[in-house]
Amino acid sequence: EAGVAQSPRYKIIEKRQSVAFWCNPISGHATLYWYQQILGQGPKLLIQFQNNGVVDDSQLPKDRFSAERLKGVDSTLKIQPAKLEDSAVYLCASSLVHPSTDTQYFGPGTRLTVL
Partner 1 sequence: QKEVEQNSGPLSVPEGAIASLNCTYSDRGSQSFFWYRQYSGKSPELIMSIYSNGDKEDGRFTAQLNKASQYVSLLIRDSQPSDSATYLCAVETGFQKLVFGTGTRLLVSP
Binding residues for partner 1, rule: CB under 8 A, are: 40-45, 48, 55-56, 91, 98-101, 103-104, 106-109
Minimum CB separation of residue 81 from partner 1 in Å reads 27
Q: How far apart are CA 5 and CA 42, in angstroms?
A: 21
Minimum CB separation of residue 96 from partner 1 in Å reads 12
Which residue, 27 or 41, is less far from partner 1 as judged by CB?
41
Q: Max Cα separation, the chain? A: 40
Which residue, 27 or 101, is less far from partner 1 as judged by CB?
101
Which residue, 17 or 111, is less far from partner 1 as judged by CB?
111
Minimum CB separation of residue 87 from partner 1 in Å reads 15
Which residue, 30 or 73, is less far from partner 1 as judged by CB?
30
Q: How far apart are CA 19 and CA 109, in angstroms?
A: 14
Q: Which own/partner contact pairs does 95-101 have at CB distance under 8 Å and 24+ positions apart?
A: 95/29, 95/30, 95/31, 95/33, 96/28, 96/29, 96/30, 96/31, 97/30, 97/31, 97/50, 98/31, 99/31, 99/33, 99/48
Minimum CB separation of residue 42 from partner 1 in Å reads 3
